Amino acid sequence: MVHFRGLHRLLMMLGWFCYSVPAFAQYSDDDLKSVYLFRFAMLAEWPESGDVSAKEYCVARDSQVGDGLKKIVEAKLGGQAFYNAETMSSASTCHILYIESASAALISQLKSQFPHALLIGNGMQFINLGGMIAFIRVNNRIKPLISTAHVKQSGINLRSQLLSVAEIVGVDL
Protein backbone atom coordinates (compact mmCIF):
# COMPACT_ATOMS: atom_id res chain seq x y z
CA MET A 1 0.00 0.00 0.00
CA VAL A 2 2.83 2.41 0.87
CA HIS A 3 4.54 1.61 -2.44
CA PHE A 4 1.29 2.37 -4.29
CA ARG A 5 0.98 5.80 -2.58
CA GLY A 6 4.53 6.72 -3.52
CA LEU A 7 3.97 5.64 -7.11
CA HIS A 8 0.66 7.51 -7.18
CA ARG A 9 2.34 10.71 -5.90
CA LEU A 10 5.13 10.37 -8.43
CA LEU A 11 2.66 9.95 -11.29
CA MET A 12 0.59 12.91 -10.06
CA MET A 13 3.67 15.14 -9.86
CA LEU A 14 4.88 14.00 -13.26
CA GLY A 15 1.43 14.64 -14.74
CA TRP A 16 1.25 18.08 -13.16
CA PHE A 17 4.72 18.93 -14.47
CA CYS A 18 3.92 17.77 -18.00
CA TYR A 19 0.63 19.66 -17.93
CA SER A 20 2.21 22.89 -16.71
CA VAL A 21 5.25 23.03 -19.02
CA PRO A 22 3.27 24.14 -22.10
CA ALA A 23 1.63 26.87 -20.01
CA PHE A 24 5.00 28.31 -19.02
CA ALA A 25 6.34 28.06 -22.56
CA GLN A 26 3.63 30.30 -23.99
CA TYR A 27 5.12 33.50 -22.52
CA SER A 28 7.81 35.21 -24.56
CA ASP A 29 10.49 37.60 -23.33
CA ASP A 30 8.40 40.47 -24.70
CA ASP A 31 5.39 39.31 -22.65
CA LEU A 32 7.52 39.24 -19.50
CA LYS A 33 8.90 42.71 -20.23
CA SER A 34 5.36 44.03 -20.67
CA VAL A 35 4.34 42.67 -17.27
CA TYR A 36 7.49 44.08 -15.67
CA LEU A 37 6.70 47.52 -17.11
CA PHE A 38 3.19 47.44 -15.71
CA ARG A 39 4.42 46.32 -12.27
CA PHE A 40 7.22 48.91 -12.10
CA ALA A 41 4.59 51.61 -11.53
CA MET A 42 3.51 49.83 -8.34
CA LEU A 43 7.08 49.61 -7.09
CA ALA A 44 8.08 53.25 -7.51
CA GLU A 45 7.11 56.55 -5.91
CA TRP A 46 7.13 59.78 -7.89
CA PRO A 47 7.90 63.23 -6.45
CA GLU A 48 4.54 64.72 -7.47
CA SER A 49 2.15 62.03 -6.36
CA GLY A 50 -1.37 63.20 -7.11
CA ASP A 51 -3.63 60.25 -7.82
CA VAL A 52 -1.42 57.23 -7.17
CA SER A 53 -3.61 54.91 -9.23
CA ALA A 54 -3.65 57.08 -12.38
CA LYS A 55 -0.35 56.14 -13.98
CA GLU A 56 0.67 57.00 -17.52
CA TYR A 57 2.46 54.31 -19.50
CA CYS A 58 4.30 55.54 -22.59
CA VAL A 59 6.14 53.76 -25.39
CA ALA A 60 8.47 55.91 -27.49
CA ARG A 61 8.63 53.50 -30.44
CA ASP A 62 6.31 50.76 -31.66
CA SER A 63 7.28 47.31 -30.42
CA GLN A 64 5.90 43.95 -29.32
CA VAL A 65 6.61 44.94 -25.72
CA GLY A 66 4.57 48.11 -26.18
CA ASP A 67 1.70 46.16 -27.73
CA GLY A 68 1.70 43.79 -24.75
CA LEU A 69 1.80 46.68 -22.28
CA LYS A 70 -1.12 48.36 -24.04
CA LYS A 71 -3.22 45.20 -23.66
CA ILE A 72 -2.42 44.98 -19.95
CA VAL A 73 -3.17 48.66 -19.28
CA GLU A 74 -6.47 48.51 -21.18
CA ALA A 75 -7.52 45.35 -19.31
CA LYS A 76 -6.95 46.83 -15.83
CA LEU A 77 -9.18 49.20 -13.92
CA GLY A 78 -7.79 52.20 -12.11
CA GLY A 79 -7.52 55.12 -14.49
CA GLN A 80 -4.19 54.22 -16.09
CA ALA A 81 -3.49 55.54 -19.55
CA PHE A 82 -1.37 54.22 -22.42
CA TYR A 83 0.38 56.46 -24.93
CA ASN A 84 2.31 55.32 -27.99
CA ALA A 85 4.77 57.27 -30.14
CA GLU A 86 1.98 59.17 -31.93
CA THR A 87 0.00 60.14 -28.80
CA MET A 88 2.83 60.52 -26.28
CA SER A 89 2.99 64.31 -26.66
CA SER A 90 -0.46 64.57 -25.05
CA ALA A 91 0.70 62.72 -21.91
CA SER A 92 1.30 64.94 -18.91
CA THR A 93 3.76 62.81 -16.94
CA CYS A 94 4.63 59.45 -18.54
CA HIS A 95 5.39 57.65 -15.28
CA ILE A 96 6.71 54.60 -17.15
CA LEU A 97 8.44 55.33 -20.47
CA TYR A 98 9.71 52.37 -22.50
CA ILE A 99 12.17 52.80 -25.36
CA GLU A 100 12.89 49.69 -27.45
CA SER A 101 16.16 51.12 -28.74
CA ALA A 102 17.54 54.58 -28.18
CA SER A 103 20.35 56.99 -28.83
CA ALA A 104 21.88 59.35 -26.29
CA ALA A 105 20.09 62.24 -28.02
CA LEU A 106 16.66 60.57 -27.73
CA ILE A 107 17.21 59.70 -24.07
CA SER A 108 18.28 63.29 -23.34
CA GLN A 109 15.23 64.65 -25.19
CA LEU A 110 12.84 62.35 -23.30
CA LYS A 111 14.44 63.22 -19.95
CA SER A 112 13.83 66.92 -20.54
CA GLN A 113 10.32 66.36 -21.92
CA PHE A 114 9.34 64.00 -19.06
CA PRO A 115 11.69 64.79 -16.14
CA HIS A 116 9.92 62.45 -13.70
CA ALA A 117 9.54 59.49 -16.06
CA LEU A 118 11.14 56.15 -15.30
CA LEU A 119 13.09 55.55 -18.54
CA ILE A 120 13.27 51.84 -19.35
CA GLY A 121 15.01 50.12 -22.26
CA ASN A 122 17.19 47.13 -23.13
CA GLY A 123 20.78 46.21 -22.33
CA MET A 124 23.75 47.77 -20.58
CA GLN A 125 24.24 50.22 -23.44
CA PHE A 126 20.88 51.80 -22.56
CA ILE A 127 22.15 52.44 -19.02
CA ASN A 128 25.44 53.83 -20.37
CA LEU A 129 23.47 56.28 -22.54
CA GLY A 130 21.58 57.61 -19.50
CA GLY A 131 18.68 55.18 -19.12
CA MET A 132 17.42 54.21 -15.68
CA ILE A 133 16.31 50.59 -15.99
CA ALA A 134 17.27 48.11 -18.69
CA PHE A 135 16.14 44.57 -19.31
CA ILE A 136 19.02 42.10 -19.37
CA ARG A 137 19.31 38.33 -19.58
CA VAL A 138 20.80 36.60 -16.52
CA ASN A 139 20.89 32.79 -16.34
CA ASN A 140 18.49 32.63 -19.28
CA ARG A 141 15.96 34.89 -17.52
CA ILE A 142 14.89 38.47 -18.07
CA LYS A 143 15.88 40.73 -15.16
CA PRO A 144 15.85 44.47 -14.60
CA LEU A 145 19.22 46.23 -14.43
CA ILE A 146 18.90 49.47 -12.45
CA SER A 147 21.17 52.50 -12.44
CA THR A 148 20.39 53.99 -9.04
CA ALA A 149 22.35 57.14 -9.94
CA HIS A 150 20.18 57.82 -13.00
CA VAL A 151 16.96 57.07 -11.10
CA LYS A 152 17.99 59.41 -8.28
CA GLN A 153 18.32 62.33 -10.72
CA SER A 154 14.62 62.02 -11.58
CA GLY A 155 13.45 62.20 -7.98
CA ILE A 156 11.81 58.77 -8.23
CA ASN A 157 12.18 56.39 -5.28
CA LEU A 158 12.24 52.68 -6.04
CA ARG A 159 10.87 50.28 -3.45
CA SER A 160 13.02 47.58 -1.93
CA GLN A 161 10.89 44.85 -3.54
CA LEU A 162 12.06 46.00 -6.97
CA LEU A 163 15.66 46.53 -5.92
CA SER A 164 15.82 43.04 -4.40
CA VAL A 165 14.98 41.29 -7.70
CA ALA A 166 17.13 43.54 -9.89
CA GLU A 167 20.79 43.77 -10.78
CA ILE A 168 22.13 47.12 -9.54
CA VAL A 169 24.78 49.09 -11.37
CA GLY A 170 26.55 52.08 -9.90
CA VAL A 171 27.18 54.53 -12.71
CA ASP A 172 29.44 57.42 -11.76
CA LEU A 173 28.04 60.69 -12.98
Query: Per-residue pLDDT tens for 55-99?
Result: 999 998 889 999 999 999 999 887 899 999 888 888 888 999 999
The more confidently predicted of residues 13 and 56 is 56
Concatenated DSSP letters of the chain: -HHHHHHHHHHHHHHHHHHHHHHHHT--HHHHHHHHHHHHGGGEE-SS-SSTT--EEEESS--HHHHHHHHHHHHS-SS-EEE-TTTGGG-S--SEEE-SS--HHHHHHHHHHSTT-EEEEEHHHHHHTT-SEEEEEETTEEEEEEEHHHHHHHT-EE-HHHHHHSEEE----
- C-alpha 92/C-alpha 133 separation (Å) is 21
pLDDT at 122: 97
Instruction: Indicate whether 11 pLDDT > 50.
Output: no
CATH fourth-level superfamily of 27-169: Response regulator (3.40.50.2300)
Cα 4 from Cα 163, distance rounded (Å): 46
Predicted confidence (pLDDT) at residue 49 exceeds the cutoff of 60 = no
Sort residue 21 into left (φ over 0), alpha (ψ -120 to 50) or beta: alpha
pLDDT at 125 over 90: yes
